[in-house]
Structure 1
Amino acid sequence: MDTDVLVVGAGPTGMTLANELLLAGVSTVVADRLSRRSELSKAGGVQSRTLEAFDQRGLLEPLLETGNYPTSIGHFAGVPFSPEYARHRLPWRSVPQVAIEGFLERHLATQGIHVRRDHELTGLDQDGEGVTATFAGGTTLRCRYLVAADGAHSTVRSLLRAGFPGQAGKATVLSADVRLSGADQVASHTWTDDGDWVALFPLGTDPQGRELRRLVVGGPGRSVSREVPITEEEIRDGLRRVFGSRVQLLELCYSRRLTNAARQVEHYRHGRVFLAGDAAHIHLPLGAQGMNTGIQDALNLGWKLGAAVRGWAPEDLLDTYHAERHQVGAAVLRNVQAQSLLMDWVGTRDPDVLAAKELFADLTRLPEVQRHLGDLLSGMAIRYPMPGTDTHPLVGRSAPDLDLGPVRAYELLRSGRGVLIDPADRFAKVTDLWSDRVDRAGQGAGTEPMLIRPDGYVCWAGDPDDLEAALGHWFGAPR
């Protein structure tokens, strides 16, 4: 083998996965067809669960030090959440995709992983031992596993001929990173009676010191082919129709057209090849859920691939990647499609849609509805199907933020290993059998004992008699 894992695609998903594999101690190659990193941010925000995951790896503080990234309360279908119902330790932040990619690429480089650019994949062939990848020019690379993180137009997905069912794009809107005047004086989502609408999101300050915003413009007659170039006059016209002269375009940095296509692959695993991020699911970029879902795909898959390469993975551990993440991706597609309808994304001004939106806006004033939608969009509502979910409320969910005295629980996950929280020192003997894969924390008086997977999800809590079975289920046979 030339490497244990080949990651095709150097976006946030691919580089997050490479970092997870690095922690797992397996050799990794990241290949990308582009000669240089793109300066276009397709996404502009990081959810609470993703921020937690970066914090668990010790990456959050260094990332936030790279720029000015404001917090936000978020929205669902253009209806903003109320700050008084925010309950997550780390609120949603406006961190552009390009900033995340640059940070992760630099971090990996300091660890000896350098993106191989100008590497366009042209073929792959797999057998019982591994995968042979062929690149333009005829060079080949042999790996045990290959992960497709190569975006919405995934070459890997095409080579696999993987089914990609769903809804084709029916309409487009304009999206651009811009500098504006007057934007602080208007709402983040604004509609006119004629169906024209504008959405604005802060992106912080870019490396050139520019205060940027993500601008999205839609409405009747604005849906054109994605190939039609976007002009400054088109942007000014959209702003003028919604805001009059109150908001002015100062500078256009990057732009593209978005479609409302919504698709998801039928299977996330194809033998020794796995699909993640936009290669596995595409949808409108509402709430930056595409980037965040891809990063969380990588967090779920990384430690499992590491376990398989290292030889201690239980037989069906790699299959749990599809079982856990496919349902999450499907749920994201559902909420995005619902938001698109309630926002009247196409600008139909259909009376039935407007009536549903008015009723929905009334419902979102209820605290329990705000909390539910906030959990849904932040990634905190995820609960993976696993043994014990029917007997304990913590199992399957991300680990709570526990104060264990000298450390917080999330800090114990920075090694990329499993963690057993054992405040009463009851389980030292059994945990020792898995000590090469699981760390034990015998502190945190008053804390409930629990077993946490390397990706930060609780996989056992409650009945002490079930602990050894849980260790074997997730961490393989004892050494």
Structure 2
Amino acid sequence: MDTDVLVVGAGPTGMTLANELRVAGVATMLVDKLPQRSELSRAGGVQSRTQEAFDQRGLLEPLLTTGDHPVGSAHFAGIPLPLTRGRHRLPWRSIPQVVIEGFLEQHLAAHDIHVRRDHELVDLAQDENGVTATFANGARVRGRYLVAADGAHSTVRSLLRAEFPGQAGTVTAIAADVRLRCDDQAMTHSWNADGHWAHMFPLGTDPQGRPLRRLAMGGPGRSLPRDVPVTEDEIRNGLRSIFGSRVELLELRYARRITNAARQVAQYRHGRVFLTGDAAHVHLPLGAQGMNTGIQDALNLGWKLGAAVHGWAPDGLLDTYHGERHPVGAAVLRNVQAQSLLMDWEGTRDPSVAAARELFATMAQLRDVQYQLDDMLSGMGIRYPMPGTEDQPLVGLPSPDLRLGPVRLHELLRSGRGILLDPADRFAKVADLWSDRVDRAGQGTDGRPMLIRPDGYVCWAAGPDGPEPALRHWFGEPR
């Protein structure tokens, strides 16, 4: 074997996975077909759960020092959700994808993991022991496992001939990073009488300290083929038709056309090959859910591959990646399609759509509705199906950030190992049997007994049988 795990694609998903594998002590090779890292921002926001996961690896604080990353306002289809502000320890922040990629690449390089660029995959073959990948530059790499993080037009997915059902794109809109003269500094979603619309939110500042914005814009007559370049005049005319003289384009930094395609692979696992991020699911970029969902795919898969490589993975552990993440991806596609309808993304100005939006906007004034939508969009409401979810309310959810003596729980998770919270000091003998892969926090800790997986999800919480069944289920047989 040339490596334990070969990761194809060095975007946020691939680099997050490479870091998870590094933490797990797994030899990793990270390749990308581009000759150099893209400078396009693409996604623009990091949700609460993703920030918590970065914090659990000690990455969040240094990431936030890379620039001005303002706190954003939650919305659903452009309908503000003001009651959700401050609900979570880490609020939604505007951090462009290009910043995240640059930060993660430097972090990996500091740990001697360097992206091998100019590696365009052209073939792969797998057997019972590993996967062999062949590249256009003549390189051939063999690893125990291969993970596709190579984007919406995934070569790995094509070579696998993986089923990719869903809705093909029917119309396009513009997504751009711009500097504007604008009399409204808040996030805005606006339409004109003809069905043309624009949506924008803060994107931090450029190196000169000038505010940047992410702009999405579309409507009737604006749906052009994806390969047609976006011009400054096109954006100026669109802004004028929607905002009049209230908004003026000062600088166009980057623009592309996006479609309303919504697809998801039928299986996230194909033998020793796994699909993550946009290689597994594509949809409209609303709420940065594509990037966030991909990063969380990587967080879910990384420790499980580590367990398999180290030989202690229990039967079926790798299959839980599909079982846990496929439903999450499907739910994201559903909420994005609902938002697209309520936004009238195609600009139909259909009275029935307007009526549905008006009714939904009224319902969205209710606190419980806002909280439900916020949990869905932020990733904080994800609950994985696990043994114990029937009678243990915390099981399957992200772990609470408890104080454990002088440290907080998220700091303990930086080891990439499981954590057994044992405040009454009852489970020392049991924990010792798994001490090579699970740490125990005993007396002096707050809260109830709890077992937490390396990805930060609770997998046992004061159940009647003690932690041993959960330890076997998630961490294999004792040493």
Whether TM-score is above 0.5 comes out as yes
Q: Does 1:37 align with 2:37?
A: yes
Letter aligned with residue 259 of structure 1? T
Q: In structure 2, what is the equivalent of residue 229 of structure 1? A: 229
Letter aligned with residue 46 of structure 2? V
CA contact (8 A) 1:56 1:414 kept: yes
Cα distance in 1 for residues equivalent to 2:2 and 2:193? 60
Query: Pairwise mapping of residues 4-83 of structure 1 onto structure 2 (< 5 A)?
Result: 4-83=4-83
Q: Does 1:463 align with 2:463?
A: yes
Cα distance in 2 for residues equivalent to 1:131 and 1:337? 36
Shift of 1:72: 1.1
| TM, length-normalised to structure 2 | 0.98
Q: In structure 2, what is the equivalent of residue 220 of structure 1? A: 220
CA contact (8 A) 2:162 2:265 kept: yes
Q: In structure 1, what is the equivalent of residue 3 of structure 2? A: 3
Q: In structure 2, what is the equivalent of residue 139 of structure 1? A: 139
Letter aligned with residue 477 of structure 1? E
Question: How many residues align structurally?
Answer: 479
Q: In structure 2, what is the equivalent of residue 180 of structure 1? A: 180
Shift of 1:420: 0.6
Q: In structure 2, what is the equivalent of residue 286 of structure 1? A: 286
Cα distance in 2 for residues equivalent to 1:207 and 1:405? 41
Shift of 1:138: 2.2
CA contact (8 A) 2:74 2:84 kept: no
Shift of 1:418: 0.3
Q: In structure 1, what is the equivalent of residue 170 of structure 2? A: 170
Cα distance in 2 for residues equivalent to 1:199 and 1:444? 49
Tell me: CA distance 1:335–1:210, structure 2 relative to 1, closer, same or farther (3 Å): same
Cα distance in 2 for residues equivalent to 1:439 and 1:188? 47
Shift of 1:400: 0.7
Q: In structure 2, what is the equivalent of residue 254 of structure 1? A: 254
Tell me: CA distance 1:144–1:207, structure 2 relative to 1, closer, same or farther (3 Å): farther
CA contact (8 A) 2:119 2:135 kept: yes
Tell me: CA distance 1:162–1:207, structure 2 relative to 1, closer, same or farther (3 Å): farther
Letter aligned with residue 110 of structure 1? A
Q: In structure 2, what is the equivalent of residue 267 of structure 1? A: 267
Cα distance in 2 for residues equivalent to 1:59 and 1:186? 28
Shift of 1:463: 1.9
CA contact (8 A) 1:259 1:284 kept: yes
Q: In structure 2, what is the equivalent of residue 367 of structure 1? A: 367
Shift of 1:212: 1.3
3-state SS of paired residue (1:138): coil
Tell me: CA distance 1:187–1:44, structure 2 relative to 1, closer, same or farther (3 Å): closer
Tell me: CA distance 1:186–1:387, structure 2 relative to 1, closer, same or farther (3 Å): closer
3-state SS of paired residue (2:467): helix
3-state SS of paired residue (1:25): coil
Shift of 1:206: 3.4
Cα distance in 1 for residues equivalent to 2:210 and 2:21? 35
CA contact (8 A) 1:403 1:444 kept: no
Shift of 1:209: 4.2
Q: In structure 1, what is the equivalent of residue 103 of structure 2? A: 103
Q: In structure 2, what is the equivalent of residue 432 of structure 1? A: 432
Letter aligned with residue 395 of structure 2? V
Cα distance in 2 for residues equivalent to 1:401 and 1:349? 45
Shift of 1:172: 0.6
Q: Can you list the C-alpha shifts for 1:91-122, whole angstroms capped at 9, x where unaligned?
A: 00000000000000000000000000000011
Q: Does 1:198 align with 2:198?
A: yes
**RMSD after superposition:** 1.1
Q: Can you list the C-alpha shifts for 1:19-66, whole angstroms capped at 9, x where unaligned?
A: 000000010000000000111111000000000000000000000001
Cα distance in 1 for residues equivalent to 2:12 and 2:137? 27
Cα distance in 1 for residues equivalent to 2:92 and 2:476? 36
Tell me: CA distance 1:290–1:449, structure 2 relative to 1, closer, same or farther (3 Å): same
Q: In structure 1, what is the equivalent of residue 389 of structure 2? A: 389
Q: In structure 1, what is the equivalent of residue 130 of structure 2? A: 130
Letter aligned with residue 300 of structure 1? N
Shift of 1:455: 0.2
Tell me: CA distance 1:354–1:14, structure 2 relative to 1, closer, same or farther (3 Å): same
3-state SS of paired residue (2:407): coil
Shift of 1:445: 4.9
Tell me: CA distance 1:187–1:149, structure 2 relative to 1, closer, same or farther (3 Å): closer
CA contact (8 A) 2:460 2:470 kept: yes
Deviates further, 365-374 or 72-81: 72-81
CA contact (8 A) 2:83 2:370 kept: no
Runs of 4+ residues over 2 Å off in structure 1:
83-86, 183-187, 206-211, 443-446
3-state SS of paired residue (2:89): coil
Cα distance in 1 for residues equivalent to 2:439 and 2:345? 49
CA contact (8 A) 2:283 2:336 kept: yes
Letter aligned with residue 103 of structure 1? F
Cα distance in 1 for residues equivalent to 2:127 and 2:445? 51
CA contact (8 A) 2:186 2:201 kept: no
Tell me: CA distance 1:107–1:186, structure 2 relative to 1, closer, same or farther (3 Å): closer
CA contact (8 A) 2:170 2:260 kept: yes
3-state SS of paired residue (1:125): strand
